[in-house]
């Protein structure tokens, strides 16, 4: 059984429709795939219909934007109730923060001679639940200001670069609590990918005590050494170990569907830990930013 527990559709910053993503997952030989768009469940109903059609198991999920101190941490959440009111309130606040910083980023880019208008960005975002930096990067690629999304982030959009603007992210401890209350299973995405210093074993032990359930270990951003060490930490703390592609369609290179996978036994642990039976039907009303 091949299991990929982290993918994005164009409902966040991927490039595929949720239904196309399910078809591609099937074609890539996957049996189980999680849809984990940033801070939204809006893609679940379409993905579920397509998953049923092609005969693949969808794990409804999302990737929540959180912070731990000054570090940005992404929290994967699986099998959660998407209409749990406190969770919805937190997600709305995150999405509003993401949308709200687009004008400020455009102004800062123009100040350094990169011509990006809000209108171009909204058009580039299309049906996404929130408009964000990947869409700004796409405009910069289209106008020839940079050669790729990665270059746009490295030169302009990452913290410390001239187009960076801070936004609201939910405190990590609060997000772990909300996911648990919503019946879901919280797993830290690429824990040592972007903020390697923040998540020490001691910190992870504290987070486990308040409800963290797993670590995404096998991810493109982790070196073989980091994976080995994280696997040991997960074992010490009794955490589930996952592996995933973090697929973004053509929005991110080297993240092909199924390039990393989750062991079936670990997947079974996630299923056993979930305490809600989330509806992937119309209850997960799409929210357009």
246 touches Zn ion by CB under 5 A: yes
Which range, of 27-35, 105-113, 135-143, 188-196, touches Zn ion by CB under 5 A?
188-196
Q: Which is nearer to Zn ion, 24 or 63 (CB)?
A: 63
In whole angstroms, the minimum distance from the beta carbon of 133 to Zn ion comes to: 12
Q: Please report where in the chains the tokens 């062991």 appear, as a residue.
A: 263
Q: Which is nearer to Zn ion, 116 or 189 (CB)?
A: 189
149 touches Zn ion by CB under 5 A: no
Q: Taking CB under 5 A as the criterion, which residues in 63-82 touch Zn ion?
A: 63, 74
260 touches Zn ion by CB under 5 A: no
Q: Taking CB under 5 A as the criterion, which residues in 87-106 touch Zn ion?
A: none
- DSSP classification of residue 161: S
Q: Which is nearer to Zn ion, 46 or 246 (CB)?
A: 246
Which range, of 137-145, 218-226, 243-251, 262-270, touches Zn ion by CB under 5 A?
243-251
Q: Which is nearer to Zn ion, 42 or 189 (CB)?
A: 189
Write the CB contacts of 228 (distance below 8 Å, at least 6 apart in sequence): none
β-sheet bridge partners, residue 250: 248
Our CA angle for 10, 266, 182, nearest 5°, is 60
In whole angstroms, the minimum distance from the beta carbon of 85 to Zn ion comes to: 25
- Give the integer Cα–Cα distance in Å for 252 and 242: 20
Q: Which is nearer to Zn ion, 120 or 246 (CB)?
A: 246
Burial zone of 274 (CB within 10 Å; 0-12 exposed, 13-18 middle, 19+ buried): middle
Q: Could you tell me the sign of the dihedral formed by the alpha carbons of 146, 147, 149, 152, in that order?
A: negative
Q: Which is nearer to Zn ion, 51 or 189 (CB)?
A: 189
Which range, of 125-133, 161-169, 179-187, 246-254, touches Zn ion by CB under 5 A?
246-254
In whole angstroms, the minimum distance from the beta carbon of 246 to Zn ion comes to: 4
In whole angstroms, the minimum distance from the beta carbon of 63 to Zn ion comes to: 5
Selected binder of Zn ion within 189, 204, 217, 234 (CB under 5 A):
189
Q: Taking CB under 5 A as the criterion, which residues in 30-59 touch Zn ion?
A: none
Inter-CA distances, 24 with 17, 29, 50, 163, Å: 10, 9, 11, 34
Q: Could you tell me the sign of the dihedral formed by the alpha carbons of 83, 9, 26, 51, in that order?
A: positive
Helical (H) or strand (E) element with 50: helix 44-54
In whole angstroms, the minimum distance from the beta carbon of 76 to Zn ion comes to: 8
Which range, of 60-68, 130-138, 161-169, 254-262, touches Zn ion by CB under 5 A?
60-68
Count other C-beta atoms under 10 Å from residue 201's C-beta: 14
- Give the integer Cα–Cα distance in Å for 77 and 61: 5
Site size for Zn ion (CB under 5 A): 4
Q: Please report where in the chains the tokens 């939910």 appear, as a residue.
A: 170
Q: What is the CA radius of gyration of the chain?
A: 18
β-sheet bridge partners, residue 186: 77
Q: Which residues are at the interface with Zn ion (CB under 5 A)?
A: 63, 74, 189, 246
């Amino acid at each position: 059984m091949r299991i990929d527990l982290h993918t994005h559709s164009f409902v966040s910053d991927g490039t595929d429709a949720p239904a196309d993503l399910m078809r591609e997952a099937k074609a890539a030989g996957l049996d189980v795939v999680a849809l984990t768009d940033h801070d939204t469940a809006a893609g679940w109903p379409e993905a579920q219909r397509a998953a049923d059609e092609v005969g693949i198991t969808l794990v409804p999920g999302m990737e929540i934007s959180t912070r731990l101190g000054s570090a940005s941490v992404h929290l994967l959440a699986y099998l959660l109730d998407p209409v749990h009111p406190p969770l919805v309130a937190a997600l709305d606040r995150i999405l509003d923060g993401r949308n709200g910083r687009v004008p400020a980023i455009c102004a800062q880019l123009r100040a350094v001679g990169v011509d990006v208008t809000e209108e171009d960005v909204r058009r580039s975002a299309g049906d996404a639940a929130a408009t964000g930096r990947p869409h700004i990067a796409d405009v910069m690629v289209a106008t020839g200001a940079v050669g790729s999304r990665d270059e746009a982030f490295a030169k302009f959009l990452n913290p410390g670069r001239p187009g960076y603007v801070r936004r609201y992210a939910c405190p990590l401890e609060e997000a772990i609590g909300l996911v648990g209350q919503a019946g879901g299973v919280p797993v830290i995405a690429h824990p040592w990918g972007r903020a390697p210093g923040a998540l020490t074993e001691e910190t992870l032990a504290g987070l486990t005590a308040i409800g963290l359930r797993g670590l995404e270990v096998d991810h493109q951003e982790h070196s073989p050494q980091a994976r080995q060490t994280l696997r040991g930490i997960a074992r010490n703390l009794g955490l589930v170990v996952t592996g995933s592609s973090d697929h973004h369609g053509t929005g991110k290179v080297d993240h092909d569907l199924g390039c990393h996978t989750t062991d079936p036994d670990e997947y079974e642990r996630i299923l056993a830990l979930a305490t809600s039976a989330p509806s992937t039907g119309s209850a997960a009303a799409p929210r357009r930013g």
